[in-house]
Amino acid sequence: MLLTGCLAAERNVSEATRVSSHWAAVSLFDEKSQVLLTSERAQTAKADLNILALSGGGADGAFGAGLLAGWTESGKRPQFDIVTGVSTGALMSTFAFIGPSADPLLEKFYTTTTTADVFTSRGLEGLLNDSLYDTARLKSRLVEVIDESVLATVAAEHNKGRRLYVATTNLDAGIMSVWNMGAIAASRDQDSLELYREIIRASAAVPAFFKPVLIRVGNDGGTENAQMHVDGAVKAPVLLRSFMLNGPYKHKNVYLVINSALKLRTAETSVENSLTGIARKSISELLRGLLYKTVYQTYVTTRRTNAAFNLAYIPDDVPASKNPLDFNPDEMKKLFEVGRALGRSGKAWQHEPPRLEPFERIEAPTTRKVSPPAMASARASVH
């Protein structure tokens, strides 16, 4: 079995969610599993490959939810062969994978959810323990929106050869774990529904702010240990790996939806002089730098594998979110409509990251057909 890291002896295994015997086929570590990943994915006989990758962003996931809804309304949204999600993108990914019929669920979640629906402060207790906030309410929300019928739908699509991947960070081992959510759904084990929900919760567990999720994993000796998993964005804010692009496809299209702005600078507002204010801003800046690097890495991967690179993100002229962990329905509705308008217009997509230096640019092969319409030279202001 795959097992990584030296786990603390005092960790309570009974508190963890169990991964059953299909572990090796479900959680695939990106550093060492390219062969396993490639052989696992079914190769379907079709001309085009469409991949959707959804980033983290907290409440700013309202942008991606709106973009998907508008894309559906445009009549040009494809069915995705592979969908990936990290952090808030992990929650979105299940419904994006199901397809346009799930758009109303995404709209409801990203326009009505409040901060109190997601987490509550632990006060002084949080400072002395493993997280500042309690996400029990998020766990309850996941029970409401991801039920047996959702799992059955994901399983059915997985059995057709489509794939859904969610990333978490295995904090013990310091590596990204890529979870095959369709395989979990299709396994129909007694623990599969709970495991499915807990992986999504883990992918959104911002370290220090939200409690890590413990997942029980067996080793070759038959014993179980609890691995600590947190936000997948710690390792990569958006998930695309080269194995996903393998196969005899005529056209390969990668759609990267970034639930964030990609501005050079954030809003010029002073940071709250408190532990949580300083920690929140510091983590935000670390993740912002990692996000831009990951977007560029994804761009290089798509170019090198002869795939079309399509990038959508929150336009620069949209007021920046002061705090992605602030679930304010009024602000989320505005951002949802920004995404919806872009999705409808067909002007959401750029074909390279912003602000590239000349030496960073990789020319697209002239033989490749690019599906989405060309982006205008200047991004339109959409409200």
Q: Domain for residue 286, yes or no? A: yes
pLDDT tens track for 240-255: 998 899 888 889 999 9
Cα(335)–Cα(64) distance, rounded to whole angstroms? 9
Q: Domain for residue 380, yes or no? A: no
Cα(69)–Cα(115) distance, rounded to whole angstroms? 23
pLDDT over threshold 80, residue 266 = no
What is the full DSSP assignment across 12-67?
-GGGSEEP-TTHHHHEEETTT-HHHHHHHS-----SEEEEEEE---GGGHHHHHHH
Q: Domain for residue 3, yes or no? A: no
- What distance separates the 2 farthest-apart alpha carbons in the chain? 60
Conformational region of residue 2, where left means phi above 0, alpha means psi within -120 to 50, and beta covers everything else: beta
Q: Domain for residue 373, yes or no? A: no
Average pLDDT score over the chain: 80
- This prediction's pTM: 0.83
Torsional sign, CA 106, 93, 228, 207: negative
More confident residue, 10 or 74: 74
For 296, the token pair is 């560029």
Q: Domain for residue 376, yes or no? A: no
pLDDT tens track for 86-127: 999 999 999 999 999 999 999 999 999 887 887 655 555 545
Among the listed residues 140, 167, 197, the one whose alpha carbon sits nearest the alpha carbon of residue 85: 167
Cα(309)–Cα(327) distance, rounded to whole angstroms? 31
Q: Domain for residue 229, yes or no? A: yes
Strands 120-121 and 48-54 come out as unpaired
Residue 68 neighbours by CB under 8 Å, 6+ apart: 77, 92, 96, 103, 106, 257, 339, 343
Residue 334: give the domain boundaries: 13-360
Q: How many domains does the chain fold into?
A: 1
Q: Domain for residue 4, yes or no? A: no
Residue 224's pLDDT band (boundaries 50, 70, 90)? low
Q: CATH number of the domain at 259, please.
A: 3.40.1090.10
Q: Domain for residue 6, yes or no? A: no
pLDDT tens track for 182-200: 999 998 888 899 999 999 9
Q: Is 221 exposed, middle or buried (0-12, 13-18, 19+ CB in 10 A)?
A: exposed
Q: What percent of the chain has pLDDT over 90?
A: 44
Which uninterrupted H or E stretch holds 275?
helix 275-304
